[in-house]
Amino acid sequence: MVEFSALHEHLDGGLRAKTIIDIATSKNIDLPLDDEKDLENWFYENISTEKNQVFKKFEMTISVMQDTDAIHRVAYEAIEDLVLDGVLYGELRYAPLQHLKEKLSPQQVVDAVSQGVRDGEKDFGGEFHTILCAMRQHQNSTEVAKLAIDNFNNKVIGFDLAGPEYNFPPSLHKDACNLISESDIGLTIHAGEAADLSYIEDAVFNCQAQRIGHGWQIIEGCEFKDGQYLPNSKIAQHVLDYEIPLEICISSNVKSGASSVGIDNHPAIKLLKSGFKVTLNSDNRLMAKTKISEEFKKAENYLELDGNLYSQLVKNAIDARFTNLK
């Protein structure tokens, strides 16, 4: 059995529909549907026309993650679901400042997630950590960075800039990134998912990102020739030479409407063949209706992933774990 690593996995994008219904019912939160399958389909549907629709779905999942019991449950169940899919190492990311509507402190949010992760490890196995996300449209990234550093021994292993890319380049949060770079916490930044190559360039050269969330738009800095992406830009050459991991999420990219990329022309495997440090991830298991094993199957069925490349993807993810990068 293949032992997968989950490096780009949003906690608030992978809830079970039943859990959403249970918590919403107990808190009198209105849902668009009250049947599990129908609700799953609602999260998956109607997000392909524009990127902002994806973020609207998160408002619903985050609304049921506002007390410690609910947050613990979501984290615990995520570990179970990932292990059942063959994931024995994972880094679950979430934005702690999004879970304060019921007057929790940021530290209480972190403690609830971390305890859920520990309890999940105890009951289901595997090794799991967390990544704290700052939302790039807000101005509190240094607060999140300090929270991550303070919780390095409390299951927090990384820091991320998430949220809408356009008009919010990573360097707006350079102070937070500098704090992280001087610490034991790993740094990954969403870049090149919806926005162009310049956002990857900014993340790497100005913010010292160790990994790139999504990052498939690195192809803008390459020439496609003889089935491979050959760098013709400083940033693409740097990402290739320094083996900066790309946390690519095929189904999510296709479904989110962030670009025109399709399931049969996503560049993930061609980038892998070209020598880039590609990893495959599920991103948001609920919204994209996927899991890591399914991402590998799709790459096999649509993108010519063969046995050797399959093994390379698995190895790349192991190498890119923040436990190995730091």
Task: Name the residues annotated as catalytic.
Answer: 193
The position carrying tokens 């403690």 is 111
Question: What separation in angstroms does the CA of 287 have from each of 252, 300, 309?
Answer: 8, 22, 27
What CA–CA distance (Å, rounded) separates 6 from 8? Answer: 6
Backbone angles phi, psi at 234, to 5 degrees: -60, -45
What CA–CA distance (Å, rounded) separates 289 from 300? Answer: 18
Furthest CA-CA distance within the chain: 58
Please, what is the angle between helix 52-63 and helix 17-27, to 10°? Answer: 60
Handedness of CA 304, 294, 10, 323 (dihedral sign): negative
What CA–CA distance (Å, rounded) separates 223 from 96? Answer: 40
Phi-psi map region of 281: left, alpha, beta (phi>0 left; psi -120 to 50 alpha) = beta
* Count of helix runs (H) and strand runs (E) in the chain: 14, 10
Residue type, 240: L
